[in-house]
Amino acid sequence: MALQAHSPEDLKRMLERIDGRGYPAYRDLEGEYRFPTFVLTVEHVQSDPFAPPSRFRIDIPLQTTGIPEELYADPVRRTAVEDFILRTAAQNLRGWRQKRGSGKSGLIEILEPTQVVLPRSAVEIGAKALTVRFVVGLPARGRTVLGRQAAEMLLEDIPSWVESSFFWKAMNHQKAREHVALAVDQDALRRWMSAEGLVAFVGDGSILPRESGQSDLPLRQGAIPFQSPPSLRREVRLPSGRMVAGMAVPKGITLICGGGYHGKSTLLRALEQGVYNHIAGDGREWVLTDPTAVKIRAEDGRWVRGVNISPFINNLPYGKSTRRFTTESASGATSQAANIMEAVEMGARVLLIDEDTSATNFMIRDARMQALVAKEHEPITPFIDRARQLLEEWGVSTVLVVGGAGDYLDIADRVIAMESYIPKDVTGEARRIMERMPSNRKAETAGPLPEKPARVIRGLGHRPKPGEKWKVEAKDLHLILYGRERVLLHAVEQLAEMGQTRAIAACLRLLSERADGRKNLAELVRELFREVESRGFSAWSGSRGCPGTYALPRPYEVAAAVNRLEGLQIKEE
């Protein structure tokens, strides 16, 4: 149904007409209302005051906003200024709500951003207009429409919020320019890293510890600022003119070692999130990681479908092949092998691994165990014996936190020791120890790596029939319901906010319609990202319009959700 354009006076008369009627009368409001400086669209009205609130959209001609064109002249600047506008709008609503009846009555809410800067559907700058998506709790007493209170919200409160949030004249110009300049500098630093062959950069003075396990805010008291070792320290002048110095991590195999509670895993977690840009004051503004980096861990019990894990696990008893490995409950070792192969399939160039969350038998077989159990009786080729091949044959670097497996010193290009949260380059000392105390283990590599995987997808499982009620929705950061199936993402550790999981759920719905045995997974996912890049988040939305709750995930996390579907079907070779 096409939405009709009305005036604010029409809206006022409608609200007066339905005042005191049953809640379904609010459905009459669906449509467009042309205010002097913006268009308000009521896209979907909630079924009752306790249901999810109604979806609204604002469209403002870009020229009318007054936002300088240079602030959204390219994708990096555009994302940054969208993020700034969203933060301004959310701040202006914070603590604002006026209770106007039952349930969610009186609510005006927009997506709250986290510490990262991402494209989000709540605020999008298109070719001609600024689009804002938010929700409103239309006021009612019980199931009776409160028309006068609704008129106050829609004709007074929302226009006032729009004027204070989305027009350049009301914004903090200095903070807006600083926000965009930071993103431009971060992008320039990433391009410098790529040109210099670096996989990560950690700026001096960074605050890596977080406030708590439940908070992504920086630790305010007692945090030790990061200080790079002299041998790895690099300085860069950025477009804003500022100089940034920090620890540069080259491609290759990098070990992070040290005693317990000295900051090894804290550094790795910062690198995991370094695939995203962070806002000023986060403490990790200058912690940047290759955007293709994927955190790898063991994941007991996960579904695996048609993955070639033979580089790591082969020659199983009874002759079972691992070139198209499928299981309903993977072990720690098989799940970690599958996670690596799936990441490489999507184009990951860096693996981030923590010994603490890895399967021991997947990571290492020491000399004594090699002597006790002959290789012909051990189907696992440990990661230590494939890491160098991953680098040399596939161009995949590794950053590994290790606390107890000293044999990894033999394959490391550099070794960083964390001592009381301060990193030290101990590569030279590690090599002297290797000479003085040689390892007696034997490498167990069995031949070259195969071609990089590229599985063709026949289907994602259940496909709804016409008229069938079937939902794909995110329930929390690490859980998606795909029909009746629970897609568990607890081991997908680089998701930064709930909006990404909602967008992944939308991607699963689209992929369920497109996976027909003609394209491989990487091709299908790349196609989705090209569409959202050219058309915005509406490209991933259904017939009911685009919600304002999406944040852009990475292709790796979209593929991770696909790979955990019970009904995933892989085309036979």
In angstroms, how far is the first alpha carbon of the chain from the final one? 45
Q: Spell 140-168 as b/e; 16+ CB within 10 A means b.
A: beeebbbbebbbbbbbebbbebbeebbbe
Average pLDDT over residues 405-431: 96
Q: Is residue 410 part of a domain?
A: yes
The answer to whether residues 425 and 373 belong to one domain is yes
Average model confidence (pLDDT) across the chain: 94
pLDDT of residue 306: 95
Where would I find the beta strands (DSSP E) of 402-471?
A: 414-419, 422-425, 457-459
263 has a pLDDT exceeding 60: yes
Number of domains in the chain: 3
Q: Is residue 281 part of a domain?
A: no
The answer to whether residues 17 and 150 belong to one domain is yes
Q: Is residue 215 part of a domain?
A: no
> In whole angstroms, what is the distance from residue 287 CA to residue 272 CA?
10
Last residue in a domain, options 115, 150, 171 = 171
The answer to whether residues 501 and 410 belong to one domain is no
Whole-model pTM: value is 0.95
Contact of 283 with 218, CB cutoff 8 Å = yes
What residues make up the domain containing 391?
Answer: 294-436
Contact of 525 with 476, CB cutoff 8 Å = no
* Cβ neighbourhood burial of 525 (10 Å; 0-12, 13-18, 19+): buried
1 has a pLDDT exceeding 50: no
Radius of gyration in angstroms for the set of CA atoms belonging to the chain, rounded to a whole number? 27
pLDDT of residue 97: 62
The answer to whether residues 410 and 535 belong to one domain is no
4 has a pLDDT exceeding 70: no
pLDDT in tens, 154-173: 999 999 999 999 999 999 99
The answer to whether residues 23 and 149 belong to one domain is yes
The answer to whether residues 429 and 465 belong to one domain is no
Specify the range with the lowest mean pLDDT, choosing from 98-107, 159-168, 369-378, 535-544: 98-107
> In whole angstroms, what is the distance from residue 328 CA to residue 315 CA?
20
pLDDT in tens, 356-402: 999 999 999 998 998 999 888 889 999 999 999 999 999 999 999 99
The answer to whether residues 13 and 105 belong to one domain is yes
What percent of the chain has pLDDT above 70? 98
Last residue in a domain, options 120, 141, 171 = 171
Q: Is residue 229 part of a domain?
A: no
Q: Is residue 562 part of a domain?
A: yes
Q: Is residue 504 part of a domain?
A: yes
Phi, psi angle pair for 249, to nearest 5°: -105, 110
The answer to whether residues 408 and 514 belong to one domain is no
Tell me the pLDDT band of 2, cut-offs 50, 70 and 90: very low
**Residue entry with tokens 């021991």:** 360
Q: Is residue 87 part of a domain?
A: yes
The answer to whether residues 527 and 398 belong to one domain is no
Specify the range with the lowest mean pLDDT, choosing from 2-6, 429-433, 487-491, 546-550: 2-6
The answer to whether residues 15 and 101 belong to one domain is yes
pLDDT in tens, 468-516: 778 899 999 999 999 989 999 999 999 999 999 999 999 999 999 999 9
The answer to whether residues 398 and 500 belong to one domain is no
DSSP 66: T
pLDDT in tens, 184-205: 999 999 999 999 999 999 999 9
What percent of the chain has pLDDT above 90? 87
Last residue in a domain, options 171, 202, 217 = 171
The answer to whether residues 473 and 409 belong to one domain is no
User: What is the bridge-based pairing of β-strands 253-258 and 414-419?
Assistant: parallel
Q: Is residue 88 part of a domain?
A: yes
Closest CA to 349 of 387, 395, 309, 388: 395
Assign 3-class secondary structure to 289-346: ECCCCEEECCCCCCCEEEECCCCCECCCHHHCCCCCEEECCCCHHHHHHHHHHHHHHC
pLDDT of residue 320: 80
